Chain A
Amino acid sequence: MHTWLRPLVAVLVTALFFLPLYLVLANVFKPGDAINASPASLPIPASLDNLTTVLTRPDRLFWYGLINSTEITAISVIVLTVVSAMLGHYLARTPGPLSKIVMVGLLCGLMVPPAVIMTPITEVLRTLGLMGTVPGVVVINAGYYVPFGVFVFTGFIKTVPIELEEAAALDGASRLRIFWQVVFPLLRPAAASVLIFLGTWIWNDFLSPLIILGPASGTTVTVGVYRAIGEHQSDYGAVFAFMFLASIPILCFYLAFQKHFVKGLTGGATKG
């Protein structure tokens, strides 16, 4: 292939793929009439009106969503990392039928679509008094994603030499201390994968906040996008601006941790 042909084709294919994202980005910075008149043109002069409209909405839909999304994502991910690292460590280091049963039971959970358990989950949450609350969304995220976390951590813990733990045990450290001071620091790459994957999945989640939070107690930014299209079917400027603002945190997160993201994604591919 000619030396200039490959980069040219690569750029053209990528540009075609990127076109829908460009149209959103360009129109975030255009006033409404310009969007209709020339949707594909560059936003010159750039206008911040759409962004200001979203940020200064009287119902503060965006701000409430941002607070809820941040709370839900941060707490869920921390709980999940701690709980699934400890469970993964226990299962990887405790031989016996009980561990095997628990492991198989967890793996089955990887296949359960959220739609299947949504109705009974609302009953469980109602019983616990957590329906319509942020902690309600956090606990169901924790339960639903524990299998994924355990799966990543047990795979990784098997590569950590057990002699380290035994040495610490000989020195008289308790099992909890061994875990937090010896094992967990070594699990950082696995923790990064769990944090990044679950972080994006939970931030982007639609069904559980839609059904569990309900309209009364505010919502997440993802559900906010959905509500925004319901209101301004034709005002794409405002909807695009809402989406843009709702996606900035997760895009920054992705760009910052890009390397870990790809590593976590392909850990199995390159080893296999």
Chain B
Amino acid sequence: MSATDTALPASATARTRPRGTLLPRLGTFSLFALPGIALYLAFVLVPVVMSFVSSLTDENAMHPVTHFVGLSNYRQLLSDPSFHRSLGNTALLTAAVVVVPNAVGLGVALLLDRGSRLYRMLRTVFFTPVVLSSVVVSVIWQALLTDDGIINKVLRSLGAEHPPGWLSDPSLALGTVTFIMCWQMLGFCVVVHLAGLQGVPAELMEAAELDGAGPVRRFRHITWPMLAPSVTINTVMLLITAFKTYDQVQVLTNGGPGDGTTATVAFTVITTAFTDNRTGYSAAMSLTMLVLIAVVSVVVLRVLQRREVTL
């Protein structure tokens, strides 16, 4: 602070940033940076470390004494069918949620890529579920899809004697949960793709049209490559959302029907910790999940960014 008051020529100060003594710099640090860093440390980094420590113990919220057990929780995970199942469910769900809204969203964006008021209104409709809580979205669909819900009533009135148990049939429930997530995220992808489409130069399209390129070729060689950044944004966002899937499973199926047919990793982590009280084991699960997310995210980002460059 005082350093800026000294009688330095203006040109000298403008080139070299004003530098205080150690104390004012420490003061700036603690004023500007420390609050954010402290909050982040206390509620993200320290908990991750605590999770790691607890994953090496047999910590159980119902038992008073905790023992150090080394890697035994991790070893147990390797042969835990319910953990394997939740990994498989999360992988399937994530794959579908990353691909489907991205692809369908592109179709809708191409359809709505016009400037008039009608199309702007329709875009708002598509984005509404993105703004709603996933709890609300899940309850909406639950009303439609329970065994005697609105959709099955319609199917019965159309003559179906045994309409599908969308949420109660173990072979359908995961697909239903995935579909609901895709429906909710569709508007997000539509909006991002629409912004990407606005970046496609009109002259380029006209020139290609003059050269005799049909709509399919123009899409393949001009629009699609220009949309690479939108695909990246959507994919990253969908990936993060899908990995965390908890609310929909809790509200729609509670992990069932049957034995964990819709349980995701996040859901299994939470129930193992807060319902079964096995906090140590749940911590091992959650750290495994964290490592998997980090690896998948880095690989996906690399691939997408390389694609953006080469296209």
The interface of chain A, by Cβ under 8 A from chain B, is 6-7, 9-11, 13-14, 17-18, 20-21, 23-24, 39-40, 83-84, 86-87, 89-91, 93, 102, 105-106, 108-121, 123-124, 139-140, 142-144, 146-147, 149-150, 162-163, 166, 169-170, 172, 174-176, 179, 200, 203-207, 211, 222-223, 225-226, 229, 236, 239-240, 243, 246-247, 250-251, 254-255, 258, 262, 265-266, 268-270, 272
Q: How far is the CB of B82 from chain A (nearest CB, A)?
A: 16
Question: Could you give 23 example pairs across A and B, Cβ below 8 Å?
Answer: A10-B122, A13-B108, A17-B183, A21-B129, A24-B140, A86-B32, A86-B35, A89-B32, A109-B40, A112-B48, A115-B267, A116-B51, A119-B283, A120-B48, A166-B14, A204-B135, A204-B136, A206-B133, A206-B246, A206-B250, A243-B140, A269-B233, A270-B196
For residue A9, which residues in chain B have a CB less than 8 angstroms away from its CB? 111
Q: How far is the CA of A84 from the CA of B35 in the complex (A)?
A: 9
Q: Is the interface of B mostly helix, strand, loop or mixed?
A: helix
Q: How far is the CA of A148 from the CA of B10 in the complex (A)?
A: 37
For residue B124, which residues in chain A have a CB less than 8 angstroms away from its CB? 255, 258
| Residue in B5, B128, B195, B250 whose CB lies within 8 Å of A251 | B128
Q: How far is the CA of A8 from the CA of B282 in the complex (A)?
A: 52
Chain B residue, CB-CB nearest to A262: B191
The interface of chain B, by Cβ under 8 A from chain A, is 1, 4-5, 10, 13-14, 17-18, 28-29, 31-33, 35-37, 39-48, 50-51, 54, 108, 111-112, 114, 118-119, 122, 124-129, 131-136, 139-144, 150, 153-154, 183, 186, 188, 191-192, 195-196, 198-199, 229-230, 232-233, 240, 243-244, 246-247, 250-251, 265-267, 269-270, 273-274, 279, 282-283, 286-287, 289-290, 293-294, 297, 308
Q: How far is the CB of A28 from chain B (nearest CB, A)?
A: 11
Chain A-chain B contacts (Cβ-Cβ < 8 Å), number: 261
Q: How far is the CA of A11 from the CA of B122 in the complex (A)?
A: 7
The answer to whether A204 touches B153 (Cβ under 8 A) is no
Known: A144-B43, A207-B270. A39 touches B191 (CB 8 A): no
